[in-house]
């Protein structure tokens, strides 16, 4: 330990007549206090810090628009974990804490964002050691020849250890025919989940219907993912809120007319292509495009006021 070495050095210096004994004691004392503080930290973080962090994470989740069901789920999970931990401390029988999940929802409904939040939350609750998010899709898991898939999947799992393995479009693993190695990946995944059940959470995500079908045709899998979360499509009002949130973060705002135009735009998009296309991601694209269009519009003006710079007008939406 580095602090013990220093102690030896300090005493050596004293023996060589370089330090007075009073100085030595003072040095040893300071060093000992720092050492003690470090030990406290590594052994057991005072509960306040974890609680504060958990509150911060939950606040972030609250800040997201919609997602009412997920917010309730988080409350449930947090309570469940804490109670099991309390029971464990009192030597009562505990439920196994299986946190693998299935996220069903259209693109742009917040699946990855929420997965990331879960990672951080689980770290603070003591369920995961690192709490990071490893996002993968089929191409990262499936190989081209026998044995390649298992290796690829194992490597991915290794990188995800201590955090969350987020598999997007998970159903694609089961799509191929006889010569497809998707199945091999599923087997390797299940084995990885078994071997690392203490420090890994796996989240399968994708379109609702496809995910349903995938789980039904792989019944063994379904039972391993006890938590199933539906990510509902945002209402258009919610999408407007998201748009305003995104703009606020960049210090822009929507004029009333622009807001109305955006509403009509989103409504039309939804009608045409359905919710598969009309979610938060679409909104972000629209916003970013509007920002660029606004720039082109304003740059022609001789006088540009601060108010102009901040406001998105209806003509900025094409």
| Residue 6 interacts with another protein (CB under 8 A): yes or no | no
Q: Which residue in the set 3, 25, 52, 75 belongs to the binding site for another protein (CB under 8 A)?
A: 25
- Select the span of 8-16, 106-114, 194-202, 306-314 touching another protein (CB under 8 A): 8-16
| Residue 1 interacts with another protein (CB under 8 A): yes or no | no
Among positions 27-86, residues that touch another protein (CB under 8 A) are 28-29, 32-33, 36
Q: Which residue in the set 2, 22, 37, 48 belongs to the binding site for another protein (CB under 8 A)?
A: 22
Contacts of 20 (CB under 8 A, 6+ apart): 14
- Select the span of 22-30, 148-156, 254-262, 274-282 touching another protein (CB under 8 A): 22-30
For 92, list phi and psi in degrees, rounded to 5: -90, 160
Q: How many residues in total does the chain contain?
A: 318
Token digits for 300?
């022609």
Q: Which residue in the set 24, 64, 190, 310 belongs to the binding site for another protein (CB under 8 A)?
A: 24
| Residue 19 interacts with another protein (CB under 8 A): yes or no | yes
Shortest distance, position 138 Cβ to another protein, whole Å? 58
| Residue 257 interacts with another protein (CB under 8 A): yes or no | no
Q: Which residue in the set 6, 14, 245, 313 belongs to the binding site for another protein (CB under 8 A)?
A: 14
Residues that bind another protein (CB under 8 A): 7, 11, 14-22, 24-26, 28-29, 32-33, 36
């Amino acid at each position: 330990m580095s602090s013990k070495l220093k102690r030896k050095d300090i005493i050596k210096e004293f023996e060589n007549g370089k330090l007075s004994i009073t100085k030595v004691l003072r040095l040893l004392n300071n060093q000992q206090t720092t050492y003690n503080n470090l030990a406290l930290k590594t052994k057991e973080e005072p509960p306040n810090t974890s609680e504060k962090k958990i509150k911060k994470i939950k606040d972030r989740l609250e800040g997201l628009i919609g997602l009412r069901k997920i917010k309730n789920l988080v409350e449930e999970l947090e309570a469940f974990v804490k109670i099991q931990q309390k029971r464990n401390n009192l030597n009562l029988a505990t439920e196994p804490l299986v946190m693998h999940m299935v996220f069903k929802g259209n693109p742009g409904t917040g699946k990855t964002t929420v997965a990331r939040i879960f990672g951080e939350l689980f770290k603070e609750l003591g369920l995961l050691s690192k709490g990071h998010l490893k996002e993968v899709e089929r191409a990262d898991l499936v190989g081209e020849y026998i044995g390649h898939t298992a290796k690829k999947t194992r490597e991915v799992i290794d990188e995800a250890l201590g955090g969350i393995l987020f598999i997007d479009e998970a159903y694609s693993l089961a799509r191929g025919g006889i010569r497809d190695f998707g199945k091999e990946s599923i087997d390797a995944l299940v084995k990885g989940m078994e071997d690392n059940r203490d420090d890994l959470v796996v989240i399968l995500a994708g379109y609702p219907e496809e995910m349903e079908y995938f789980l039904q045709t792989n019944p063994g899998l379904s039972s391993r993912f006890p938590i199933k979360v539906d990510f509902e499509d945002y209402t258009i009002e919610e999408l407007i809120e998201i748009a305003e949130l995104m703009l606020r973060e960049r210090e822009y705002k929507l004029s009333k007319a622009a807001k109305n135009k955006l509403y009509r735009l989103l409504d039309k998009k939804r009608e045409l292509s359905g919710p598969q296309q009309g979610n938060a991601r679409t909104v972000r694209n629209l916003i970013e495009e509007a920002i660029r269009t606004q720039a082109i519009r304003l740059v022609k003006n001789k006088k540009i006021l601060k108010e102009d710079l901040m406001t998105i007008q209806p003509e900025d939406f094409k």
